[in-house]
Amino acid sequence: MKTFWDFCAPFYDMAEKNNGPAYTEMLQIVRERIPQGATVFEAAAGTGAISLAVSDKANHILCTDVSEKMLNVARRKTAKRGAQNITIENQDIFALDAADSSFDVVVAGQVLHLIDEPERAAAELKRIAKSMVILPMCLLKGLRGKAKWSVRLWKLLGFDPKIEFDAADYAEFLHTIGFEDCEIIQIAGKLPMAVAVWKKGGES
């Protein structure tokens, strides 16, 4: 059955880039947090923008999503870039095909607000991470003007967040699903964003 994410795959990148500097800053913040030579697992990767943004720093990246249409876009982009260190696979965030602590960094952007039982997904992300989980998120609570109407349009098309956040709400939500003591980096923009960084075992 075709999902909303299959439907929007051809123009998903255009929609993300419409958030302009905020989206670019999010990618840069994530990139800065990736240690040189790290192994990276990206869950709910969509069209692979984050995987590509960190590909020159990482040793190997496993880029995953449940939407094959999204992954096909990611495959084309990866081939065009010539990024030989990215592997692309269809995987379910609730049952990740990776061993415990097998990736230095795990990234899951803009997904935990979309799913039932986010604590189950959180447990999987934590399970496979060796040192860090990075969780970018759009902050949709309290939007006004054009931003509010753009999100309403996406909802009419099938976008269905279970919960919407401001920065404080996001930090509290993450705490309740098992990501305690996250660093939260806020990003201003048409659609404000935040990047949460959780370190395993209280690493500094």
Question: Which tens digits make up the pLDDT trace of 69-93?
Answer: 999 999 999 999 999 999 999 999 9
Q: What is the pLDDT confidence band of residue 2, given thresholds at 50, 70 and 90?
A: low
Superfamily the domain 4-197 falls into: Vaccinia Virus protein VP39 (3.40.50.150)
What tens digit of pLDDT does each residue of 103-161 get? 999 999 999 999 999 999 999 999 999 999 999 999 999 999 999 999 999 999 899 99
DSSP 201: G
- Candidates 55, 25, 26, 24; CA nearest to 38 is 55
> Is the Cβ–Cβ distance between 23 and 190 less than 8 Å?
no
> Is the Cβ–Cβ distance between 48 and 111 less than 8 Å?
no
- pTM score: 0.95
> Is the Cβ–Cβ distance between 59 and 83 less than 8 Å?
no
